[in-house]
């Protein structure tokens, strides 16, 4: 009656042992480390070798090193060595590498080899700066309306229509014609070009025949979505300048962006960096002169400018005249050309399309370059004072040959990979903020306060855990000790799962969820044990009482936990940062407690009492 098949015992052991294995990294302390990444998302294979040589020359000993995808982590014995290593690394690498101070767990190599790592800690536990930014969506729509106004003028001009004027309001573009026939012709032309994006209506005002166009709801949602994405990418590029090890930049709701910068305490500097701007320029390549000779001699031919390619740092001569600026790029996506090779697909506004069409028609089979212009804010020492200075950085991010006349929509080909195509499209979109942002919330958490929060969180969990264990042991005796074992396994499972889930972050509300789970985890056992007591009072045999206790309490346990789980899922779906952290730990705790309370304790009870004919139950 009270026996489990062997596979159930093995399943329970494997689950608990696996959770314990992945929870182990949380026992190891953090050590000072330097994290190196590349703003392009890809590290050169020789970067680690360069770092080793530079640090060895300065007598700096590396305690541990590892390369995780697109970042390198170097561990050191103390913070003084860490700071020296950071300065040496910055000097050894070029300006496109991001060198950040970090605290890395001293997890043994054999645990890292199986993907085991400690839980990620939230800003309230690590310390740093938190910003909540409000994106001005009305400005994004207005910018699009302005773009359509310029596009209408170019489109109607190309169609050779006459006697019209184009104006705009906050939400729509209006074209005024002299007669109905001209309006009908204009409507046909504009619908062909913009019918999927705009809604057209006709109206009369005296002798004026007006055609109004407003953005469709689907297009408005797309504009707002692109504005959020572009702003997030732009902010991410800005954050790289701060050298933050593990920043969090993500969308919150429909119109807000959360920026969390662990370890940053200078909010003024963070605001300046986040507010920096960037753009792109399209220029023709000077193919008549030697760029290497110009770079060596310092004499640049008249009418040209000397630039350097971003990846190779090779010099390149570009014509002084700008073909097109990034202000005219309204969208950029990655894709593939006709031959199936990666490409960046660019969309221009009306004025940009007209200008680009004319220039490219005159330069077919010639090289065109895309220049990325970034205004960086750096801190310099002047007479012992820290001064912030804006430095303009210009790099060539792409060079391609013009194959045909280009207009509103064109492709940049000759890219090496889909990653490069995606990177280029993101850079083109991230040249500047798509819509203004306003800081609506700002918080700073000091590192000492974060450490204090961690200690208080551990203390609250330990106190709640010990009190519950004492109560269960005194009130339910042997069965209470079994429940305590299940409670311990439950805590191990929560920590193991939180450490295993990518992106899961432990925050103060998350700790509250664990404390609440510790108290709730024994509820199922209390129901089971009380049911067993009731069956014994009714005269049933000990074995029948155990069986009935688990069987009859199951529906009540399921109802209670499922309703709580539903509530936690609602909190996760509709809540924000701290609420989500609470909901995650509570949900994991509920699922783990059902597993340990129902299967775990039953397995131990079956092992102890299952082979006894008429045992005396210590419950």
What is the per-residue pLDDT across 352-386, written as a single tens digit (0 to 9) for each?
A: 888 888 888 888 889 988 887 765 555 566 676 76
CATH class of the domain at 6-24+446-609: mainly alpha
Is the domain spanning 279-442 CATH 3.30.1360.200? The answer is yes
The per-residue DSSP string of 93-136 comes to S-TTEEEEEEEEE---HHHHHTT--PPEEPHHHH-EEEEEEEE-
The pLDDT value recorded for residue 351 is 74
Phi, psi for 60 (deg, rounded to 5) = -95, 120
- In Å, how far are 104, 217, 510, 568 from 495, measured between CA atoms? 18, 45, 11, 18
Q: Ramachandran region of residue 383, left (φ > 0), alpha (ψ -120 to 50) or beta?
A: left
Q: Per the structure block, which two tokens stand in for 558?
A: 């399921």
Which CATH entry fits the domain spanning 30-106: 3.30.420.40, 3.40.1350.10, 3.30.70.260, 3.40.50.2000? Answer: 3.30.70.260
The pLDDT value recorded for residue 318 is 93
Report the length, in residues, of the chain: 619
Name residue, tokens 């070798």: 49
Name residue, tokens 């400005």: 139
Q: What stretches of 307-382 show up as alpha helix (H) in DSSP? A: 350-361
Q: What stretches of 501-576 show up as alpha helix (H) in DSSP? A: 508-521, 523-537, 542-574
Query: Taking 60 as the threshold, does the pLDDT of residue 138 lie above it?
Result: yes
The pLDDT value recorded for residue 573 is 83
pLDDT band at 80 (very low <50, low <70, confident <90, very high): confident
pLDDT band at 276 (very low <50, low <70, confident <90, very high): low
The pLDDT value recorded for residue 15 is 92
Average pLDDT, the chain: 80
Beta strands in 448-507 (DSSP E): 505-506
Phi, psi for 34 (deg, rounded to 5) = -120, 130
CA atoms within 13 A on the CB side of 440: 12
Going 192 to 193 to 195 to 198, the CA torsion angle's sign is negative
d(CA 519, CA 484): 12
Mean pLDDT of 576-586: 80
Which CATH entry fits the domain spanning 138-217: 3.30.160, 3.40.1350, 3.40.50, 3.90.1150? Answer: 3.90.1150
Name residue, tokens 């770092």: 51
Domain boundaries, the chain: 6-24+446-609, 30-106, 138-217, 279-442
297-310 burial string, b = 16+ CB within 10 Å, else e? eeebbeebbbbebb
Query: Taking 70 as the threshold, does the pLDDT of residue 245 lie above it?
Result: no
pLDDT digits (tens, 9 = 90+) for 394-444: 888 778 888 888 878 887 765 667 766 766 676 566 555 667 777 777 777
Nearest residue to 511 via CA among 582, 583, 587: 582
Query: Taking 90 as the threshold, does the pLDDT of residue 217 lie above it?
Result: no
The pLDDT value recorded for residue 386 is 61
d(CA 279, CA 430): 8
Mean pLDDT of 116-127: 78
The pLDDT value recorded for residue 271 is 66
DSSP code at position 59: T
Query: Taking 90 as the threshold, does the pLDDT of residue 14 lie above it?
Result: yes
d(CA 498, CA 513): 12
Q: Ramachandran region of residue 160, left (φ > 0), alpha (ψ -120 to 50) or beta?
A: left
Least confident among 88-92, 437-441, 465-469: 437-441
Q: Per the structure block, which two tokens stand in for 434?
A: 């798509």
Residues pairing with 250 in the sheet = 258
Phi, psi for 344 (deg, rounded to 5) = -105, 125
Q: Residue 484: exposed, middle, or buried by beta-carbon count in 10 A (0-12, 13-18, 19+)?
A: buried
Q: Say if residues 340 and 359 touch (Cβ distance below 8 Å).
A: no
The pLDDT value recorded for residue 261 is 79
d(CA 95, CA 393): 10
CA atoms within 13 A on the CB side of 570: 6
d(CA 547, CA 483): 17
């Amino acid at each position: 009656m009270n026996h489990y098949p062997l596979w159930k015992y093995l399943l329970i052991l494997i689950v608990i042992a696996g959770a314990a294995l992945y929870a182990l990294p949380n026992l190891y302390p953090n050590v000072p480390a330097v994290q190196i990444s590349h703003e392009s998302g890809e590290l050169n294979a020789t970067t680690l070798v360069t770092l080793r040589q530079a640090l060895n020359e300065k007598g700096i000993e590396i305690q541990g090193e590892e390369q995780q995808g697109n970042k390198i982590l170097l561990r050191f014995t103390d913070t003084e060595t860490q700071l020296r290593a950071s300065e040496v690394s910055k000097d050894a690498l070029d300006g496109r590498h991001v060198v950040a101070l970090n605290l890395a767990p001293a997890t043994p190599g054999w645990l890292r080899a199986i993907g085991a790592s400690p839980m990620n800690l939230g800003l309230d536990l690590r310390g740093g700066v938190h910003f909540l930014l409000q994106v001005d969506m009305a400005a994004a729509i207005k910018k699009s309306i302005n773009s359509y106004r310029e596009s209408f003028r170019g489109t109607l001009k190309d169609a050779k229509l006459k006697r019209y004027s184009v104006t705009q309001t906050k939400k729509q573009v209006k074209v005024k014609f002299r007669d109905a026939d001209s309006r009908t012709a204009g409507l046909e032309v504009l619908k062909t070009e913009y019918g999927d994006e705009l809604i057209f209506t006709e109206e009369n005002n005296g002798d004026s025949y007006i055609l109004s166009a407003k953005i469709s709801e689907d297009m408005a949602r797309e504009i707002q979505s692109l504005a959020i994405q572009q702003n997030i990418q732009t902010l991410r590029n800005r954050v790289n300048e701060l050298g933050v090890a593990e920043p969090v930049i993500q969308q919150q709701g429909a119109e807000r962006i959360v920026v969390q910068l662990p370890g940053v305490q200078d909010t003024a500097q963070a605001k300046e960096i986040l507010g920096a701007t960037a753009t792109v320029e399209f220029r023709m390549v000077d193919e008549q002169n030697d760029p290497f000779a110009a770079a060596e001699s310092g004499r640049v031919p008249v009418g040209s400018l000397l630039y350097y390619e971003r990846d190779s740092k090779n010099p390149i001569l570009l014509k002084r005249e700008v073909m097109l600026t990034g202000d005219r790029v309204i969208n950029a996506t990655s894709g593939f050309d006709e031959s199936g090779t990666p490409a960046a697909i660019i969309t221009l506004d009306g004025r940009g399309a007209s200008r680009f069409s004319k220039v490219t028609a005159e330069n077919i089979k010639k090289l065109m370059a895309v220049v990325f212009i970034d205004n960086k804010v750096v801190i310099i020492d002047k007479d012992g004072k820290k001064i912030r200075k804006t430095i303009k950085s210009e790099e060539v991010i792409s060079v391609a040959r013009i194959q045909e006349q280009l207009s509103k929509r064109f492709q940049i080909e000759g890219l090496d990979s889909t990653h490069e195509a995606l990177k280029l499209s993101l850079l083109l979109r991230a040249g500047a903020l798509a819509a203004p942002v306003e800081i609506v919330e700002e918080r700073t958490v000091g590192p000492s306060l974060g450490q204090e929060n961690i200690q208080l969180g551990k203390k609250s969990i330990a106190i709640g855990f010990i009190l519950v264990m004492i109560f269960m042991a005194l009130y339910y005796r042997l069965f209470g000790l079994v429940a305590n074992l299940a409670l311990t396994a439950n805590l191990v499972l929560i920590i193991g799962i939180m450490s295993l889930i990518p992106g899961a972050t432990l925050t103060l509300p998350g700790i509250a969820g664990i404390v609440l789970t510790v108290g709730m985890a024994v509820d199922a056992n209390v129901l089971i044990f009380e049911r067993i007591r009731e069956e014994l009072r009714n005269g049933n045999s000990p074995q029948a009482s155990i069986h009935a206790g688990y069987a009859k309490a199951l529906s009540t346990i399921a109802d209670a936990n499922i309703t709580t789980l539903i509530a936690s899922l609602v909190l996760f779906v509709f809540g924000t940062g701290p609420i989500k952290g609470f909901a995650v730990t509570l949900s994991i705790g509920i699922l783990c407690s059902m597993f340990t309370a129902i299967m775990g304790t039953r397995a131990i009870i079956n092992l102890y009492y299952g082979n006894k004919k008429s045992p005396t139950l210590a419950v």
